[in-house]
Amino acid sequence: MAIIEVSGIHKKFGNSEVLKDVSLEVEESQVVVIMGPSGSGKSTLLRCMTFLEEPDAGDVRIHDCKVQAGSPSGHRHKVIHQLRQNTGFVFQHFNLFPHKTALQNVMEGPLVVKKTSVKEAKDLADELLRKVGLADRANHYPALLSGGQQQRVAIARALAMQPKVMLYDEPTSALDPELVREVLQVMKGLASEGMTMVVVTHEMAFAREVADRVVFMDGGCVVEDGTAKKIFEAPTEERTRQFLNAIAI
Domains and CATH numbers, the chain: 4-248 (3.40.50.300)
- Using DSSP, how many helices (H) and how many strands (E) does the chain show? 9, 10
Q: Is 247 exposed, middle or buried (0-12, 13-18, 19+ CB in 10 A)?
A: exposed
What pLDDT is stored for residue 247 in this prediction? 81
Residue 249 has pLDDT above 60, yes or no: no
- pLDDT per residue over 3-20, tens digit each? 999 999 999 999 999 999
Proportion of the chain above pLDDT 90, given as a percent: 85
Q: Does the pLDDT value for residue 72 go beyond 80?
A: no
At 71 the pLDDT is 72
The per-residue pLDDT for 74 is 65
> What pLDDT was estimated at residue 75?
72
Q: What stretch of H or E contains 119?
A: helix 118-131
92-138 pLDDT per residue, tens: 888 899 999 999 999 999 999 889 999 999 999 999 999 999 999 99
